[in-house]
Amino acid sequence: MSVYKPFTTADLIVTPFEVNKSFSFKGEDFINSNIGIEKYIGTNIQDALWVSGSNNTGQLILNNQQLVYNSIKQLYYSNYLLSPSGSPASTASFTPTPFIPDFETAISRNVLTGKGNTTNYYNYLSSTININRTFPTESNAKIGVISIPSNLFGEYLKPGSFTINTKSGSIIDDTEGNLLYNSLEYSASKVHVGNIIYEHGMSIIISKSMGSYGDEFFNIFNSSSFLTCSFQSNITIFESQYKCTARPDEFLFSQNPSIISGSNSCPKNITSTLYNFATGSYFTPYVTTVGLYNNNKELVAVGKLAQPLDMSDTTDTTILINLDL
């Protein structure tokens, strides 16, 4: 028989599974451009006059604090400005009017009452349970933003893995998109201070929510001193499992040259040069290596067994090969 045996559809199983990797950056590591983690301060600046290049924030790419504030507000809080658990949907209706023969006059007297707009943005909720999207809208309100690049967090930040540590306390995520502050010095325990958007690698810290500690934290936040950020990335790997099955009448001849006696290995005389132990009906070879080939019979992968496997001449022999891609 041929040395090659094709796979059937049932011989291949592709299984996805998720893997994680831990990262931790401390102090001045935040300003290392090779890492790519960026920190911004967003401020609700309400001055009518726009001055280009003013109120800069960011250490790798400079941005205007007002633009940072407005971007975060629109992307993640537009449906929660009236209430942390969700702004009520707006409704509108026409006021009833008496019958008027003139159609155009009737249309002009139908007055729209109530708000015509409604919540129409997707704000990337991590959970529909215990939603808390508190966002400050007063003048000069400040927010802190840590932006982690996708080449670090993969598909999304692993829920429950994000932590910010300072000399006075720590901020952790609760696996549902909320950031909670704990501090013995300030007698704080699981105080909600912001939100984390796992699929974007964005953590948003609200200054007002931190109370008396807010000013001190934002000073540390700006300088990166005594600040440690830890998280875990998440990425999906696809494992391909190939089932290599040899029936009792297949692959029972060894290709190991040690079974040939002398130097005569010419194909016409190879039977006469086999050692006696290899010619008996009880002889079965051992498998040490399995090769995977493409349609052009080109070797693309090699699987090595931990120990030689005796081929059976009475039952099927199955070897499973797993490839993680």
pLDDT in tens, 7-58: 999 999 999 989 999 999 887 776 676 888 888 999 999 876 777 778 888 8
42 shares its domain with 133: yes
The better pLDDT of the pair 278, 202 is held by 202
Is the residue at 242 inside a domain? no
Q: Which domain holds residue 200?
A: 21-78+121-237
Sorting pLDDT into bands at 50, 70 and 90, what band is 200?
Answer: very high
pTM of the model: 0.73
Residue 200 amino acid letter: H
Residue that terminates a domain, selected from 189, 207, 237 = 237
57 shares its domain with 139: yes
171 shares its domain with 31: yes
182 shares its domain with 259: no
What's the angle, vertex CA 247, arms to CA 241 and CA 250, rounded to 5? 110
Is the residue at 4 inside a domain? no
Residue 199 amino acid letter: E
Instruction: Answer yes or no: are the C-beta atoms of 260 and 273 closer than 8 Å.
Output: yes
Residue that terminates a domain, selected from 237, 260, 277 = 237
Kindly report, residue by residue over 208-240, the tens digit of the pLDDT.
Answer: 877 777 777 777 777 766 788 999 999 999 999
61 shares its domain with 207: yes
Residue that terminates a domain, selected from 207, 237, 267 = 237
* Predicted pLDDT at 92: 66
CA pair distance 265, 257, nearest whole angstrom: 9
In 88-234, which residue ranges form alpha helices assigned H by DSSP?
A: 103-109, 150-153, 214-223
Residue with tokens 């023969």: 101
CA pair distance 288, 99, nearest whole angstrom: 93
Task: Please state the domain count of the chain.
Answer: 2
252 shares its domain with 220: no
Is the residue at 6 inside a domain? no
Instruction: Return the CA Rg of the chain.
Output: 34
| Least confident stretch, 116-125, 178-187, 261-270 | 261-270
